[in-house]
Amino acid sequence: MNDTRDLTNLTVTDALAALRSGELSCTELVRAFLERIERLEPRLHAFITLTPELALRQAAAADRQYTRARKSGESTPPLLGIPLAVKDLLALAGVRCTCGSRILDNFVPPYSATVVQRLLDAGVVVLGKTNTDEFAMGSSTENSAYGVTRNPWNVKHVPGGSSGGSAAAVAARMTPAALGTDTGGSVRQPASFCGVTGLKPTYGRVSRFGLVAYGSSLDTVGVFARTAADVALLFSHMAGFDPRDATSVDFPLPLPCLDGKTNLKDVRIGVPQEYFIEGIQPEVEGAVKAAITHLEKLGAVVLPISLPHTEYALPVYYLIAPAEASANLARYDGVRFGPRVEAENILDLFCNTRGQLFGAEVKRRIMLGTYALSAGYYDAYYGQAQKVRTLIKQDFEKAFELVDVIAAPVAPSTAFKIGEHADDPLAMYLEDIFTLPANLAGVPGLAFPVGFDYQGLPVGMQLMGAPFGEEMLLRLAHVYQQTTTWHLQTPTGVD
């Protein structure tokens, strides 16, 4: 394989086959991605930190391992030599982890997150750490202290957020796969905006150890790739019990086996009326409904369902997530982590450091959360929100007695313009209305491309499943992708 530009079009599955057969070397593959990153990064800014030396070192080691294995017949790690980008909210030992914030500008974690370590053990090569809204608070990557990431389909538009760097990098073929995190939609919404496939797993299924905490009862680690088959492959090496995460679940993981069958006979798909509301972009509604019809033609049974408490998800989330964030972010005070803004006394040191190094959105969330938790208001806000959260969870439990999966839009619109919601936090929060419920209920969600709008921007669809039902979501998306071509479209404007 001589033409290095073509190598960046390989899926994880195809790249693995070529690496194993010896037709392709890891070094060639990694160089192709690094060259593409070098070319596109100035325009897209998908990364906060690049790790080319590490990647080339890992690639050379992988090549040696393949050569040895070919001689001896021994087996190789399952993802050996596959390039990966990691959201800058997950620890990678020895590499700066900023969380998109100045307050962690120089923070270098001494250990790797469990999910990162699992993938390293499976053989991946890390290309770099991707851009994110500060502490994952946002829906556009505009809240990063390191500059906005641009959408590869149209650089005037946002890539979504908060894992916008990871989604843009996969869409622009700067990496075949990337890790993201999803607290209220941060994998699914950018996947939808960038036209890639993104999985938010069941809460507890992938370890949060080494993920910098935002809303601990909502945080999940997910993955982006260009196909459901690639997402399934990576996910199977990410999930699993971890004694270092108290909410990690010891639930056996069937390795997603996505066969070639395209028959969806007897799969019951529920379509919730609350997700097709006034104000949704007509092309989004049209593309999602067409995708549901497509699945129906493949044998699925489509049923109307109701998730009656959906309208409360937004206020509930924007009480619970900031409340948890206000507690989690108390540790950044200029003493233990990151840079410090000096002062005469310790209280001023805390105030100066937090006042100068946190961005505006993070401060807003800390104030909202502190207020919701304060004595006298706790029951009225946080306590009440927890009760309504239970009702939202029960909506899903009831729905999954009737159907196997729920199909819905990911977001009410396609990618909006950079700056469009800059002065209106509420408009930004409204972007999350269809993704928040899955986090509140702890259920898995998968986003994948199902069309384009009149501007040529991708439209995504979301499938939500019962707890631990990732395999069903991946199977449906895989069948969809075997019989359609939306996921094969590439943004050409950035080349």
Active site residues: 87, 162, 186
Could you say which of 51, 162, 310, 462 contacts ligand GLN (CB under 6 A)?
162
The footprint of ligand GLN on residues 301-360 (CB under 6 A) is 321
Smallest CA-to-CA distance from 186 within 144, 145, 226, 156 is with 144
Alpha helices in 45-138, H assignment, sequence order: 52-72, 114-121
Write down the least CB distance from residue 381 to ligand GLN, Å: 17
Q: Does 59 bind ligand GLN (CB under 6 A)?
A: no
Q: Quick check: 438 binds ligand GLN (CB under 6 A)?
A: no
Q: Which is nearer to ligand GLN, 51 or 197 (CB)?
A: 197
Lay out the site mask for ligand GLN across 353-392 (x = CB under 6 A, - = otherwise): ----------------------------------------
Sheet architecture: strand order including 47-50: 47-50, 125-130, 83-87, 177-182, 220-225, 197-200, 445-452, 458-465, 405-409, 268-272, 301-305
Residue 411 to residue 186: CA distance in whole angstroms: 11
Distance CA 181, CA 188 (A): 9
Residue 139 touches ligand GLN, criterion: CB under 6 A: yes
Q: Which stretch binds ligand GLN (CB under 6 A): 14-22, 183-191, 280-288, 468-476?
A: 183-191
Cβ closer to ligand GLN: 114 or 139? 139
Structure token pair of residue 103? 């307050």
Shortest reach from residue 240's CB to ligand GLN, in Å: 22
184 in contact with ligand GLN (CB under 6 A)? yes
**Total of chain residues touching ligand GLN, rule CB under 6 A:** 14
Rounded to a whole number, what is the distance in angstroms from the first to the last CA of the chain? 21
DSSP code string of 201-266: PPTTTS--TTBPPSSTTT-EEEEEESSHHHHHHHHHHH-S--TTSTT------PPP---S----TT
Q: Would strands 197-200 and 445-452 be described as parallel, antiparallel, or unpaired?
A: antiparallel
Strand-pairing partners, residue 407, are: 463
Q: Are 174 and 5 in contact (CB under 8 A)?
A: no
Cα 76 off chain centre by: 28
Residue of 141, 144, 175, 186 interacting with ligand GLN (CB under 6 A) = 186
Applying CB under 6 A, does 170 fall inside the site for ligand GLN? no
Q: Quick one: which of 99, 136, 239, 305 contacts ligand GLN (CB under 6 A)?
A: 136
Question: Using the rule CB under 6 A, which residue among 30, 82, 127, 137 binds ligand GLN?
Answer: 137
> Does residue 182 belong to the site contacting ligand GLN (CB under 6 A)?
yes
Enumerate binding residues for ligand GLN (CB under 6 A). 136-139, 162, 181-186, 214, 321, 432
